[in-house]
């Protein structure tokens, strides 16, 4: 049996919304983490890794799960993690505009 793949514009093959879109509706936002870690063979040397996934602010359970995996399974010890987060679906901003514009 072949795995399900997202169709055009991220829609699921059955025509329903993709899993990523459903996560966004449930409060998930796009989270990006820049991870600095020490090389196992040269501890004085730092290397960068960028992780990105949909996650919940402020607990970040997906990121916590990934970092736990890193500490348990990978040899490069973590130095620091910098996190950026943005909810992609949020209330619209409405601003009043002073003035009137006429077009023909």
Q: How many CB atoms lie within 10 A of CB 11?
A: 13
Q: Is residue 102 part of a domain?
A: no
pLDDT digits over 44-90, tens only?
A: 999 999 999 999 999 999 999 999 999 999 999 999 999 999 988 87
pLDDT at 100: 65
pLDDT at 99: 67
Q: Is residue 97 part of a domain?
A: no
29: domain range? 18-86
Give the model's confidence band at 12: pLDDT under 50 very low, under 70 low, under 90 confident, else very high: low
pLDDT at 10 over 60: no
pLDDT digits over 84-100, tens only?
A: 999 888 776 667 667 66
Contact 37, 82 (CB under 8 A): no
Q: Is residue 10 part of a domain?
A: no
| Residue that wins the pLDDT comparison between 7 and 16 | 16
Number of domains making up the chain: 1
Q: Is residue 94 part of a domain?
A: no
Sign of CA dihedral 78, 82, 88, 91: positive
pLDDT digits over 26-49, tens only?
A: 889 999 999 999 999 999 999 999
Q: Is residue 1 part of a domain?
A: no
Q: Is residue 101 part of a domain?
A: no
């Amino acid at each position: 049996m072949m795995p399900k793949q997202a169709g055009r514009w991220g829609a699921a093959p059955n025509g329903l919304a993709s899993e990523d879109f459903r996560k966004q509706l449930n409060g998930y936002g796009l989270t990006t983490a820049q991870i600095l870690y020490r090389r196992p063979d040269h501890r004085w040397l730092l290397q960068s890794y960028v992780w990105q996934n949909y996650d919940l602010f402020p607990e970040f359970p997906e990121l916590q799960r990934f970092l736990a995996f890193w500490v348990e399974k990978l040899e490069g010890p973590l130095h620091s993690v910098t996190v950026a987060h943005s909810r992609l679906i949020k209330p619209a901003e409405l601003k009043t505009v002073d003035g009137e514009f006429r077009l023909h």
